[in-house]
């Protein structure tokens, strides 16, 4: 894998799935810098998403909910949409960029167990898909 690859993880609200995906990529994939955003961000990270990251030894304080406009000018190597809404409305980027869709159910509004399930799913599937897509 080439060094210093940049990956954007997008969902609708940027409060759970994309935040967890960003954190996992940054924690487990060397030479990859992940970012996340929402097409309609809620403006805050879900407390259970923060809690699940901390439970697995990942500092959640550096992650925040943001709009695509905040990251659109970054030269991404890969854009990953993790929900149907973001996949359907994925915008055009200034530079041609590879896009993949790896969908996960939204744990927002569910009990903490749903966040644990989502975390494990994202760790198992997303990391593998990102590594494969980056080559």
In the residue annotation, 37 being an active-site residue is answered as no
In the residue annotation, 11 being an active-site residue is answered as yes
* Helix, strand, coil tally for the chain in percent (to 5): 40, 15, 45
Which residue in the list 24, 29, 78, 83 is annotated as catalytic?
83
For residues 12 and 105, what is the distance between their CA atoms, to the nearest angstrom?
A: 12
Which residue in the list 90, 97, 114, 134 is annotated as catalytic?
90
In the residue annotation, 90 being an active-site residue is answered as yes
Which residue in the list 8, 9, 10, 11 is annotated as catalytic?
11
DSSP secondary structure string for all residues of 87-110: HHTPPPPSS--EEEE------TTS
Q: Which residues are catalytic?
A: 11, 83, 90
């Amino acid at each position: 894998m080439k060094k210093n690859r940049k990956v954007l993880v997008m969902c609708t609200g940027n409060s759970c799935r994309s935040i967890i995906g960003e954190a996992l990529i940054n924690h487990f994939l060397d030479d990859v810098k992940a970012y996340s955003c929402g097409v309609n961000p809620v403006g805050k990270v879900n407390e259970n998403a923060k809690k699940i990251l901390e439970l697995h030894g990942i500092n959640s304080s550096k992650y925040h909910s943001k709009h695509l406009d905040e990251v659109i000018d970054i030269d991404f190597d890969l854009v990953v949409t993790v929900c149907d809404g973001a996949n359907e409305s994925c915008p055009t980027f200034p530079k041609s960029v590879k896009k993949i869709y790896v969908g996960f159910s939204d744990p927002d509004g569910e009990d903490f167990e749903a966040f644990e399930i989502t975390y494990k799913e994202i760790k198992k599937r997303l990391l593998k898909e990102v590594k494969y897509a980056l080559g």
